């Protein structure tokens, strides 16, 4: 793929934690490299708490933001080149398509063929309707180990909810966003689906 040609991609060692970290550092995103490790570790812990495959959870965390190496202004064109469906909300706010780009790059560049792992990376920002347990683990891990300094404003609520259930933890964050809808650039339809589904379920 042409869109991958500008990227530095070293031969894979088989250690996904190392390879994703190295890839992000090599392509100028050391900040995201650390964030992906943190999210992978957080996802592993949450998975252990809920009896979900801890390795799958960690892998999805290492991979989830690998598309940070693609500049925002190139994301829509890159998605089109990779035959990824681009929704209107994503065209308006391209940052949000980075989840789908990470999914495809995990397959193409890191040769990950476990669809549960790549699909979790593919919805880590918005969640989706009928999420898998792994989707929920990664979604929550990414919000707890966020990519900004200090603790996020919703940290206490999501941690408390996580003591009760994964669904409650997901809902705690989505509801936080929902109350601030006016400040959001767009409401992604997958987030809307997840919100209404969880609201009914809980």
CA gap 61, 43 in Å, rounded: 6
Specify whether the CB–CB gap between 143 and 64 falls below 8 A: no
Question: Near Fe ion by CB under 5 A, which window of 13-21, 58-66, 154-162, 163-171?
Answer: 58-66
Does position 135 bind Fe ion by CB under 5 A?
Answer: no
Within 8 A by CB and 6+ apart from 150, the residues are none
**Shortest reach from residue 11's CB to Fe ion, in Å:** 26
DSSP assignments along 98-145, one per residue? HHHHHHHHHHHTT----HHHHHHHHTTTT--SS--HHHHHHHHHHHHT
Instruction: Rank residues 22 and 34 by Cβ distance to Fe ion and give the closer one.
Output: 34
**Shortest reach from residue 197's CB to Fe ion, in Å:** 21
Does position 90 bind Fe ion by CB under 5 A?
Answer: no
**Total number of residues shown for the chain:** 202
Q: Which of 142, 143, 172, 194 binds Fe ion (CB under 5 A)?
A: 142
Instruction: Rank residues 34 and 202 by Cβ distance to Fe ion and give the closer one.
Output: 34
Does position 19 bind Fe ion by CB under 5 A?
Answer: no
**Shortest reach from residue 1's CB to Fe ion, in Å:** 21
CA gap 113, 168 in Å, rounded: 30
Instruction: Rank residues 7 and 201 by Cβ distance to Fe ion and give the closer one.
Output: 7
**Shortest reach from residue 65's CB to Fe ion, in Å:** 4
**Shortest reach from residue 84's CB to Fe ion, in Å:** 15
CA gap 172, 202 in Å, rounded: 11
Size of the site for Fe ion (CB under 5 A): 2
Tokens 């490790």, residue located: 37
| Half-sphere exposure at residue 94, Cβ-oriented, CA atoms within 13 angstroms | 14
Helices 115-122, 133-144: crossing angle, 10 deg rounding: 50
Question: Near Fe ion by CB under 5 A, which window of 52-60, 65-73, 150-158, 177-185?
Answer: 65-73
Instruction: Rank residues 3 and 123 by Cβ distance to Fe ion and give the closer one.
Output: 123
Does position 42 bind Fe ion by CB under 5 A?
Answer: no
**Shortest reach from residue 34's CB to Fe ion, in Å:** 11
Q: For residue 108, which phi and psi values (nearest 5 degrees)?
A: -75, -45
> Which residues of this chain interact with Fe ion, rule CB under 5 A?
65, 142
């Amino acid at each position: 793929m042409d869109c991958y040609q500008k990227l530095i991609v070293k031969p894979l060692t088989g250690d996904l934690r190392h390879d994703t970290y190295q890839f992000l550092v090599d392509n100028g995103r050391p900040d995201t490299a650390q964030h992906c490790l943190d999210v992978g570790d957080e996802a592993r812990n949450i998975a252990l708490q809920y009896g979900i495959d801890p390795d799958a959870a960690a892998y999805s965390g290492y991979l989830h933001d690998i598309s940070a190496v693609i500049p925002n202004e190139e994301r829509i064109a890159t998605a089109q080149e990779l035959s990824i469906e681009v929704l209107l909300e994503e065209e308006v706010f391209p940052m949000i398509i980075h989840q789908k780009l990470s999914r495809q790059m995990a397959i193409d560049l890191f040769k990950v063929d476990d669809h549960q792992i790549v699909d979790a990376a593919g919805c880590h920002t918005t969640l989706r309707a009928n999420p898998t347990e792994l989707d929920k683990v990664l979604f929550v891990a990414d919000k707890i180990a966020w990519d900004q300094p200090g603790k996020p404003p919703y940290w206490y609520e999501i941690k408390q909810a996580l003591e009760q259930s994964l669904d409650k933890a997901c809902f705690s964050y989505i509801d936080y966003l929902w109350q601030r809808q006016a400040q959001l650039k767009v409401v992604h339809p997958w987030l809307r689906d997840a919100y209404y589904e969880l609201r009914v379920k809980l």
